[in-house]
Chains A and B, each alone.
Chain A
Amino acid sequence: AQRVTQPEKLLSVFKGAPVELKCNYSYSGSPELFWYVQYSRQRLQLLLRHISRESIKGFTADLNKGETSFHLKKPFAQEEDSAMYYCALRGSSGTYKYIFGTGTRLKVLA
């Protein structure tokens, strides 16, 4: 069964501190992993995807198949990073089932 786990509901850090939002998944095949972000009063939007191996707004995420993790990291948090972050998994092998974790609210304190 597909499952995405985000253990932290709330993460508070000070501006300039490193950030790590945890995501673990369960899937029997080779999934595609994503991070979505919801800023205040804005739509949910894609932040980054594992296949692109990109850095967006200073955030990176590496897929660790051994640990079934896809943690989101940023070396220096900014106040504008405060938002709700969701880890998501899309099934492969012809299925397109797209599920999300419970989300982590990140608060960056001045």
Chain B
Amino acid sequence: DAGVIQSPRHEVTEMGQEVTLRCKPISGHDYLFWYRQTMMRGLELLIYFNNNVPIDDSGMPEDRFSAKMPNASFSTLKIQPSEPRDSAVYFCASSLAGVNTGELFFGEGSRLTVL
């Protein structure tokens, strides 16, 4: 397995544009998490899914952010409209709850720069 796959790896956009980040979790994993990494706040949990259903989206900053998981192998995080303060590295991670190790497997991240 290639692990968790995220795209794009880098995105530079202008303020006001729509941004869509994508994630393919490890096959068979039933939990998927989206995090935002910044110097000031570290890794912030934005939202997580269990079996494609959003469980907790309390970390989503505001209505400009939305996330979907239409099936077990794909998730998106959308920002519309984007703002400079959204610049960060966005990570997707997946896990298998049945295996009680609790390990999260991370993607390589999507580095977003909003000008």
Interface residues in chain A, defined as those with a beta carbon under 8 Å from any beta carbon in chain B: 6, 32, 34, 36, 43-46, 49, 51, 86, 88, 90, 96-103
* Cross-interface CB contact of B45 among A6, A45, A97, cutoff 8 Å: A97
Interface residues on B, range: 20 to 34
In the complex with contacts A43-B108, A44-B91, A98-B103 CB distance below 8 A: no
Binds A, one of B18-26, B35-43, B68-76: B35-43
Task: For the complex of A and B, list the 7 residue pairs with the smallest distance between their C-beta atoms, beginning with the closest.
Answer: A102-B42, A100-B43, A44-B106, A103-B42, A46-B103, A43-B106, A99-B45
Q: What are the residues of chain A within 8 A of B109 when measuring CB–CB? A: 43
Smallest Cβ-Cβ distance to A34: which chain B residue: B102
A86 touches B43 (CB 8 A): yes
Q: What are the residues of chain B within 8 A of A90 when measuring CB–CB? A: 102
B42 touches A86 (CB 8 A): yes
A-B residue pairs in contact (CB < 8 Å), sample of 5? A97-B45, A97-B48, A97-B56, A98-B45, A100-B45
Q: What are the residues of chain B within 8 A of A97 when measuring CB–CB? A: 45, 48, 55-56
Interface residues in chain B, defined as those with a beta carbon under 8 Å from any beta carbon in chain A: 3, 31, 33, 35, 40-45, 48, 50, 55-56, 91, 93, 95, 97, 101-104, 106-109
Q: What are the residues of chain B within 8 A of A46 when measuring CB–CB? A: 103-104
Q: What are the residues of chain A within 8 A of B50 when measuring CB–CB? A: 96
Interface of A is mostly: strand
- Of A34, A86, A97, the most chain B CB neighbours within 10 A belong to A97
B41 touches A102 (CB 8 A): yes
A101 touches B42 (CB 8 A): yes
B101 touches A49 (CB 8 A): yes
* Cross-interface CB contact of A96 among B40, B42, B48, B108, cutoff 8 Å: B48
